[in-house]
């Protein structure tokens, strides 16, 4: 039996589609999760999920489930392609959609880490930043949001690694954690692209990923709030 019309259209456009998605996910303007926190390839621990939260985003839909333990996240991003769009895909829009998925993932995970850091944060001037610490072992990594002071630094830090967006949780301006024994992420794979048939001979592009935070506690993450000079 020959492939369905939608399958034929998707297959004929797949090289353009997958290239646009790859370009969006690898945008040079964005850091990845692996740039800012340790990531290991591993299946998630067995978990149960809260009902999903669905929002329109970047020309498509974003669906996020959170585990009942509040440590694991299931992401699904969908982008609709009509019959006509499958014949001539708008690669700029597809690239923008994939870039938005990448950025949301980074912001969402960092937002979860900020929520933890609010339970244990260091308040002081940038000149006293070296007094801040976190549990674990090895080098301290500092992630600094764009609203953090430019002179935020300490001799034994890895960083600060500068992020190009504001902290998702006031008053935290930066995160400090150790590269050993500190928070890390586990996931079966990076964002993966697929597609599903849709109504009226259309299709939906789908990006999916699952992530779990490990060792993310107030003992291993310190939030930094700089005041004064």
Whose CA is closest to 30, among 123, 99, 132? 99
**CATH entry 3.40.47.10 includes domain 5-118+185-212:** no
Res. 112: pLDDT tops 50: yes
List, for residues 56-65, the tens digit of each pLDDT value: 999 999 999 9
Whose CA is closest to 79, among 26, 4, 18, 27? 18
**Structural element, H or E, at residue 6:** helix 5-25
**Can you tell me the distance from the alpha carbon of 89 to that of 66, in angstroms, rounded to the nearest whole number?**
32
**Can you tell me the distance from the alpha carbon of 17 to that of 227, in angstroms, rounded to the nearest whole number?**
47
List, for residues 168-211, the tens digit of each pLDDT value: 887 899 999 999 999 999 999 999 999 998 877 889 999 999 99
- Model confidence band, residue 228 (pLDDT cutoffs 50, 70, 90): low
Give the single-character DSSP code of 126: G
- Model confidence band, residue 1 (pLDDT cutoffs 50, 70, 90): very low
Kindly report which listed range (49-53, 54-58, 117-121, 210-214) carries the lowest average pLDDT score: 117-121
Phi, psi dihedrals of residue 18, rounded to the nearest 5°: -65, -35
* pLDDT mean over 136-153: 90
**Structural element, H or E, at residue 179:** strand 174-180
**Can you tell me the distance from the alpha carbon of 143 to that of 127, in angstroms, rounded to the nearest whole number?**
17
* pLDDT mean over 95-106: 94
Contact 94, 17 (CB under 8 A): yes
pLDDT of residue 72: 96
Whose CA is closest to 104, among 211, 187, 224, 16? 211
Res. 30: pLDDT tops 80: no
pLDDT of residue 27: 75
Q: What percent of the chain has pLDDT over 90?
A: 65
> Which residues belong to CATH 3.30.2400.20 in the chain?
5-118+185-212
């Amino acid at each position: 039996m020959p492939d369905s019309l939608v399958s034929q259209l998707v297959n004929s456009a797949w090289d353009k589609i997958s290239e646009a998605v790859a370009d969006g996910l690898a945008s040079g303007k964005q850091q990845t999760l692996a740039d800012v926190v340790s990531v290991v390839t591993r299946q998630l621990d067995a978990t149960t999920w809260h009902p999903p939260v669905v929002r329109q985003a970047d020309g498509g839909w974003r669906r996020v489930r959170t585990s009942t333990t509040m440590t694991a996240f299931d992401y699904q991003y969908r982008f609709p392609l009509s019959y006509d769009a499958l014949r001539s895909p708008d690669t700029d829009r597809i690239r923008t959609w994939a870039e938005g998925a990448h950025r949301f993932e980074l912001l969402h995970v960092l937002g979860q880490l900020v929520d933890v850091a609010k339970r244990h944060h260091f308040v002081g001037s940038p000149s006293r930043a070296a007094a801040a610490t976190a549990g674990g072992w090895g080098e301290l990594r500092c992630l600094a949001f764009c609203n953090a002071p430019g002179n935020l630094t300490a001799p034994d830090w890895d960083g600060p690694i500068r992020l190009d967006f504001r902290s998702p949780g006031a008053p935290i301006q930066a995160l400090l954690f150790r590269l050993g024994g500190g928070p890390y992420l586990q996931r079966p794979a990076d964002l993966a692209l697929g597609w599903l048939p849709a109504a009226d001979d259309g299709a939906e592009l789908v990006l999916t990923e699952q992530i779990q935070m490990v060792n993310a506690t107030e003992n291993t993450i310190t939030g930094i709030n700089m005041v004064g000079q």
